[in-house]
Structure 1
Amino acid sequence: MQREILSVLGLTHRPRPHLQEKHTSAPMFMMDLYNSMNVKEHNVEFSFFKQLFMDDEPSFVGPQENYLLADADLVMSFVNLLENDTELCQQCYTKELRFDLADIPVGDQLTAVELKIYKDQIPYNETYQITVFQETQEHNSKLLKLDTQIIYGSDFGWLTFDVTATSNDWVLNSQYNLGLQFMVETTDGKRIQPQSVGLVDRSGSQEKQPFIVAFFRSETVHLRSVRSTSGKPWNQDKTKGSKEHEDLPLGNFTEGFMSSSSSTHSSKRFLKHACKKHELYVSFRDLGWQDWIIAPEGYAAYYCDGECAFPLNAYMNATNHAIVQTLVHFINPETVPKPCCAPTELQGISVLYFDDSSNVILKKYKNMVVRSCGCH
């Protein structure tokens, strides 16, 4: 059962992340993305998040992220891998960052990548310029400018830089992944140390570590095989019994049947056994997956069950084809089966989880929850 559910989630195996790593800035950002996607529509509870991460900071997610999220099927975050070099380079005027994008999925289109750097407030409110570069050669001999932002000393919070161009290079050719650098200058062009304006590096708190977040759009649709819900064989010989019923006046016949079936007993039976939505809850916690699935703990999937018997009333949400099929089945049951009770409307869910490398992934899954049922 676990293998089947993992297959539905698009995973070949159960992730086993190394959760001893204490970087929490990326999970907190991804938590806010998940929040923005789900809390308004599904009234999602976040008590688990509040226990796992600090939740008293303002939301990471702004209008730009919400715009990118609307067009994305998958979001991944990556933390800075370089160790703290503050003690080794007290007079450095640039800060180097390195991210491992080896786990980026094959076949999905990379639509946007953002670099997130946290800035603490400083007492003097001067103007500064931050520039982010891509390292294109080893030993920092050549840099490619990616993005620039003007900040003030009194500013605090997460700064966002567009690094989509360099990340596309990294995905296509991993040898180009030599890292990023950012530099801070005053208005007169003087370089200063990044930490002097409040930019947080590896020596700062774990909740404020630099990271990048990548947005992807799926290019292919993965279809799973459909298994038959019934092994009952039906006689497909359409000639059998056709002469006997080919001139049957359907209009008069159905009117008489519907009139006779309008009794209280029949109505109650139809209501009780008719096609409708039923409760079904899938618990990730019961599967023992709480160590890698961050949210949700489970979801209400529902299922459709019940009779699609003649006559198909309006509340049974039947298609025109199902109505005709029901009539033919009633006249000659051996010719065709009754219509099936099946979902007529489905909706997706979002799952937030760790992969094997402890990257935090937010993925949308389509057609996971039954919203309504009907006769097909």
Structure 2
Amino acid sequence: HKQSVSFQSHLNANSCAPITGVSGCSSAVAPSCPGRLRSQERRDIQREILSILGLPHRPRPYLGSKQSAAPVFMLDLYNIISTDAQLPGYPYYRAPMVTPMDSRFLDDADTVMSFTNLVDQDRDLLVRQQAREFRFDLSRIPEGEAITAAELRICKDFIHEHNDNETFRVLVYQILQKPLNKLFSPLMLLGQRTVWASEDGWLVFDLTTASNLWLVKPEQNLGLHLLVEDSHGSRSPELSGLVTGSGPRNKQPFLVVFFKANEVRLRSIRSDEPRRDEGSGVCSRRELYVSFKDLGWQDWIIAPEGYSAYYCEGECAFPLNSYMNATNHAIVQTLVHFINPDLVPKPCCAPTQLHGISVLYFDDSSNVILKKYRNMVVRACGCH
């Protein structure tokens, strides 16, 4: 038995949709209404879901942030781990921006955040030095999260006017101190890459150690210094094909950081047996769709537009068959209730297995966050 429910149908079909949780024996139902959620009901629902997502308020990102490079990369990550992306019509794929190493980082992470560069690259001094600087604000990293990996990603375009066999080095330094004078800053080399002029794609630099340092000692987060060298000395990053300031928004540099909470590792709960929908009166899983779009959140939630949460409903009557996933206690309780209904109530129909979803969204600073949330979807129901 299925009951297709969404906030969209609630708003447009002159009906009141049940709003359910995943614990307890009964579902919480929205008050009787003439056709749509009242403003207060909508605010209550929004507040509760934001609490589940661990957000103190609704993020309001800057306009135009969806056109930058970070959301594209993060959406690729989302498609790798999203359950919906593996269903028919959503083929599983590994996008060009995502490397096998990123996939391994993703397996161990429960949160991924991307950060955009805060440094204005148009300063005269940097242009004359043929250097570029980057700085990323890591102050929004949640407490209790440990950095497992961090990457600086810089786009490299094909250079048409150079010899394809020409190579040059891209060097990334950590700035150790504020400049002692206008020409020199103490630097420490973090990574380097030898790049072909004909190369086209994203350059990835490991910043895990530096990011962990900045997390513990924010005052030492003075930024990064990028230089490009060829056989004749320093050269302009832009003439080398690097996109470091000007250029398309979807090719701008960004930092991506993978986190893992200092607690039990997140795992999806998978049912050993396929779900069975028996008669309409029997305890089973029913359809319930939660639409983020209908809550007016499409400007900050990138994906998904919503998700199937499901809920449990139905009778736990004697006898409890094997497909009802009843506990031993529920079986005994059912027997006693059958003999003496006034002595104890029937067992409850409730979730026996749940699994998580992933949500990709912007925060107030237009950083992109990919986070896994546990116990959001009913996988199976049973009698308790």
Aligned CA distance change for structure 1 residues 102 and 44 (closer, same or farther; 3 Å): farther
2:199 aligns with 155
Does residue 84 (structure 1) correspond to residue 121 (structure 2)? The answer is yes
CA distance in 1, matches of 2:303, 2:88: 13
- How far off is 1:166 after superposition? 1.0
Q: Residue in 1 aligned with 2:235?
A: 192
- Asked whether 1:296 is paired with 2:336, we answer no
SS at match of 2:174: strand
Q: Identity, % of aligned pairs?
A: 57
Q: Structure 1 residue 80: deviation in Å?
A: 0.8
Distance in 2 separating the partners of 1:364 and 1:63: 20
Letter of the aligned partner of 2:202 in structure 1? W
* Equivalence for 1:347: 355
Matching residue of 1:314? 322
Does 1:41 pair with 2:78? no
Give the distance between the partners of 2:348 and 2:373, measured in 1 at CA. Answer: 25
Q: Deviations over 1:121-159 (max 9, x none)?
A: 123222222221110101152111111222211111111
CA distance 1:335–1:146, change in 2 (3 Å):
farther
Question: Residue 361 of structure 1: which of 348, 366, 369 is its match?
Answer: 369
Alignment of 1:1-376 (within 5 A): 1-21=45-65, 24-38=68-82, 40-42=85-87, 59-85=96-122, 89-122=126-159, 123-124=162-163, 125-139=165-179, 140-186=184-230, 188=231, 190-220=233-263, 271-376=279-384
Residue identity opposite 2:148 in structure 1 = T
Does the aligned pair in 2 maintain the 1:23–1:79 contact within 8 Å? no
Secondary structure in 2 matching 1:345? strand
Amino acid of the structure 2 residue aligned with 1:343: P
| Deviation for aligned residue 1:42 | 4.3
Partners of 2:147 and 2:377 lie apart in 1 by 27
Q: Is the 8 A contact 1:72 1:217 kept in 2?
A: yes
**Is the 8 Å Cα contact of residues 126 and 132 (structure 2) preserved in structure 1?**
no
The answer to whether the Cα contact below 8 Å between 2:121 and 2:133 also exists between their aligned partners in 1 is no
C-alpha deviations, 1:257-297, integer Å up to 9, x for none? xxxxxxxxxxxxx8331100111010111111111111111
Deviation at 1:11, TM superposition (A): 0.9
Deviation at 1:206, TM superposition (A): 0.9
SS in 2 for 1:327: helix
Tell me the equivalent position of 2:15. none
Per-residue CA deviations over 1:300-342 (Å, capped at 9, x if unaligned) read: 1000000111001122122223222211222233443322111
RMSD over aligned Cα, in angstroms?
Answer: 2.3
Contact 2:76/2:95 (<8 A) preserved: no
CA shift, 1:88, in A, is 5.4
- Give, in whole Å, the separation in 2 of the partners of 1:113 and 1:19: 26
Letter in 2 for 1:345: Q
* Residue aligning to 1:258: none
C-alpha contact (below 8 Å) 1:109/1:216 kept by paired residues: yes
Structure 2 unmatched runs, 5+: 1-44, 266-277
Residue 91 (structure 1) shift:
3.6
In 2: Cα distance, 1:21 partner to 1:88 partner: 28
Deviation at 1:65, TM superposition (A): 0.8
CA distance in 1, matches of 2:185, 2:264: 43
Shift, 1:71, TM fit = 0.7
* Larger CA Rg, structure 1 vs 2: 1
CA distance in 1, matches of 2:249, 2:64: 13
> How far apart, in 2, do the equivalents of 1:4 and 1:40 lie?
27
